[in-house]
């Protein structure tokens, strides 16, 4: 068994990497278990210093890592560089703020002294996706390792080179052997690793079905779990919005990473008063995107990560068109080698259509018409998902009031939804539970321990 590295831009297989057998898995888990107590006992200042060095390694090798990302999953090279830089930023953030976030918290009680200590849990298993193959891993690893946990990674099978590169980042930064390991295993082997007593907690970013499976397994052995799952983010445009600004960010929010992002805007909910004016601007921006080689700095539309994902997307689009949706532009694969799909707008989407109820993970924007603000809110909340969302209006107070009523883990007013180390990130409903990033993220995988002294 092996992992095949296929370039999404060409469809060519460029490398194979052997998958591990049970002996190799056992060896790695033994190594991590041996490293865990000493790493937990390492002073916070030393852990933070090493995380800062990890950021330096990322920046020093940014071109190499960016090329690996582009080669494996098709990301535009300029976006791959930005992803690596963002990873370095999250290392810096926790290196600087870890001591503050995990400082003992004094609480009044009947004791002479009572306080909460934030102590590491042990080893955290991360099951991570391919769409942001460095960022998704580092936003878990930076806080988890600074908190004194060790980490093991089960990465997506189509980005094995990224998995190995991430292990190399921590090794080159000087982290002790066994503090972070990439497990070259198949999805079918994850259950056994979760159940292994040397694993103490699990975090997953991925699909809803995968999240349900991982949560069920972790729950069966009573291990803490954080899930960041799919999203179908609403992008509400009200009648008083700046339509030029909204349309510009609509293109960026939907088509960044070829639309393969959980927090990409997916449902464009337009009040009737401005729907046509907005769509004329949005359509022009979408049709200006240029598909091409992701290593070309001028390319603005990347291929999808795999041809099977492109084919699945087209099936979703085709069924929605058959149910009465309208292809405003695109809505078909591009006739060229690789996993390319046209930048698309699917208009007149209504309840009962596949595109209305499901996440379309690719370069397709769906448009839903609303009568007014209240109808737009109803539509936004009429979703099994609740990851992010945005509101576009010239009235910031109006936007903030509407944002509070949207059922999501985050809502941005006049801005594109994004993850930021300074802000907690995560969802509700079928988008998962728990939080990453900020103070909230580093406190997910710790023992919030009460100390009472008389």
Catalytic positions: 228, 262
Residues 382 and 344: their CA atoms lie apart, in Å, by 23
**144-162: b (≥16 Cβ within 10 Å) or e:** bbbbbbbbbbbbbbbbbbb
Distance CA 146, CA 166 (A): 16
Under DSSP, is residue 35 helix (H, G, I), strand (E, B) or coil? Answer: helix
CA-to-CA separations, 248 to 78, 252, 297, 396, 401, in angstroms, rounded: 19, 7, 20, 19, 24
Q: What is the dihedral of CA 252, 390, 82, 130, to 10 degrees?
A: -90
* 246 within 8 A of 390, measured Cβ to Cβ: no
Contacts 24+ apart (CB under 8 A), 103-108: 104/451
Pairing of strands 344-347, 326-329: antiparallel
Cα-Cα-Cα-Cα torsion 40, 46, 51, 55, nearest 10 degrees, comes to: -170
Whole-number Cα distances in Å, 161 to 67, 168, 197, 251: 11, 11, 28, 30
Tokens of 316: 């979703």
Report how far apart the first and last C-alpha atoms of the chain are (Å, whole number): 59
Give the residue among 13, 6, 27 at the shortest CA–CA distance from 183. Answer: 27
Give the residue ranges of DSSP H helices in 174-272: 190-195, 208-220, 243-255
Nearest to 70, CA basis, from 295, 308, 256:
295
The structure tokens listed for 109 are: 């009680």
DSSP string, 125-165: EEE--SSSTTHHHHHHHHHHHHTT-EEEEE--TT-HHHHHH
3-state secondary structure of 270: strand
Burial of residue 315 (number of CB atoms within 10 Å: 0-12, 13-18, 19+): exposed
Question: What is the number of other CB atoms lying within 10 angstroms of the CB of residue 45?
Answer: 11
């Amino acid at each position: 068994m092996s992992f095949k590295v296929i370039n999404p831009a060409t469809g060519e297989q460029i490398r194979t990497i052997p998958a591990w057998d049970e002996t190799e898995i056992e060896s790695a888990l033994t190594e991590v278990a041996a490293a865990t107590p000493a790493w937990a006992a390492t002073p916070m200042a030393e852990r933070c210093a090493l995380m800062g060095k990890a950021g330096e390694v990322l920046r020093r090798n940014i071109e190499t890592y960016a090329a690996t990302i582009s080669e494996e999953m098709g990301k535009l090279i300029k976006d791959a560089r930005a992803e690596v830089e963002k990873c370095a930023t999250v290392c810096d953030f926790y290196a600087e703020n870890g001591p503050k976030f995990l400082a003992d918290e004094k609480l009044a009680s009947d004791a002479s002294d009572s306080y909460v200590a934030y102590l590491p849990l042990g080893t955290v298993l991360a099951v991570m996706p391919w769409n942001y193959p460095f960022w998704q891993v580092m936003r878990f690893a930076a806080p988890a390792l600074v908190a004194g946990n060790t980490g093991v990674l089960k990465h997506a099978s189509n980005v094995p080179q990224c998995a190995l590169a991430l292990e190399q980042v921590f090794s080159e930064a000087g982290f002790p052997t066994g503090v972070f390991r990439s497990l070259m295993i198949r999805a079918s082997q994850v259950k056994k690793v979760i159940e292994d007593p040397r694993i103490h907690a699990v975090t997953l970013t991925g699909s809803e079905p995968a999240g349900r499976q991982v949560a069920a397994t972790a729950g069966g052995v009573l291990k803490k779990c954080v899930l960041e799952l799919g999203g179908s983010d609403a992008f509400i445009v009200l009648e008083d919005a700046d339509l030029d600004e909204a349309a510009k960010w609509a293109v960026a929010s939907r088509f960044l990473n070829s639309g393969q992002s959980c927090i990409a805007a997916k449902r464009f909910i337009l009040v009737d008063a401005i729907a046509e004016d907005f769509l004329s601007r949005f359509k022009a921006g979408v049709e200006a995107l240029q598909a091409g080689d992701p290593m070309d700095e001028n390319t603005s539309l990347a291929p999808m990560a795999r041809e099977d994902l492109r084919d699945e997307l087209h099936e979703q689009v085709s069924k929605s068109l058959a149910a009465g949706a309208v292809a405003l532009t695109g809505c078909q694969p591009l006739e060229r080698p690789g996993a390319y799909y046209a930048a698309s707008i699917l208009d007149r989407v209504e309840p009962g259509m596949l595109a209305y109820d499901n996440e379309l993970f690719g370069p397709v924007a769906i448009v839903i018409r609303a009568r007014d603000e209240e109808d737009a809110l109803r539509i936004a909340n009429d979703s099994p998902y609740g990851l992010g969302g945005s509101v576009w209006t010239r009235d910031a107070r109006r936007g903030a009031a509407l944002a509070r009523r949207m059922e999501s883990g985050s809502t941005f007013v006049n801005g594109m939804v994004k993850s930021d180390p300074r802000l907690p990130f995560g969802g509700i409903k079928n988008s998962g539970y728990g939080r990453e990033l900020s103070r909230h993220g580093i406190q997910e995988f710790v023992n919030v321990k009460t100390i009472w002294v008389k």
